[in-house]
Amino acid sequence: MSKYDLNFRRLIVCMLPYSLRGNIVDLIEVMVRPLKRYYHQFLSFKEREETALTYNSQTPLLQKLLNDTLETSGIYITDAPYHVIDGVWENEEYKPKEIGFWGIIGKNDIGYRGFYVYVPVALSDKKQIIAALVDRYKFSGTQYEIVFFE
């Protein structure tokens, strides 16, 4: 029994005075039919959103979401390697840029690169679905790459 359960017939009967109860209940129930449709749409929306709220950007939960949605067990997620480049800081106090062997190195060339989503080749046609799910649940600004394997 949920707090959203509603018995429309019982509600109609309770709202009518005793003198009007009878065949008019059926008429009012027909008039309330569009409201019932919206009520059932709300319940299905609520169920979908409650399911979506059980997942987040944590690796095991994101992995479980992808495997449950695509009905497989072959999808797994790993972190991308962390790149460290030795160099000389131009200004030790503020560290505005790093100078390495190849010149000035941008912030995208070092540090955390995100994660890889490994997917079996059999699911290569579902790349857009996988990307949409990962985009919805990953942290904003986190990079990822979908890699297909045999």
What CATH architecture applies to the domain 59-149? 2-Layer Sandwich (3.30)
Nearest to 55 by CA among 135, 134, 137: 137
Radius of gyration of the chain (CA): 28
Residue 125's pLDDT is what? 93
Mean pLDDT over each residue of the chain, to the nearest integer: 83
pTM recorded for the entire structure: 0.61
Q: How far apart are CA 117 and CA 139, in angstroms?
A: 14
Distances (CA, A) of 64 to 41, 47, 119, 133: 27, 18, 13, 12
- All CATH 3.30.300 domain ranges in the chain, comma separated: 59-149
pLDDT in tens, 17-55: 998 888 899 999 999 999 999 999 999 999 999 988 888
Please tell me which residue, 1 or 70, carries the higher pLDDT value: 70
Enter the tokens of residue 98.
Answer: 């790093």
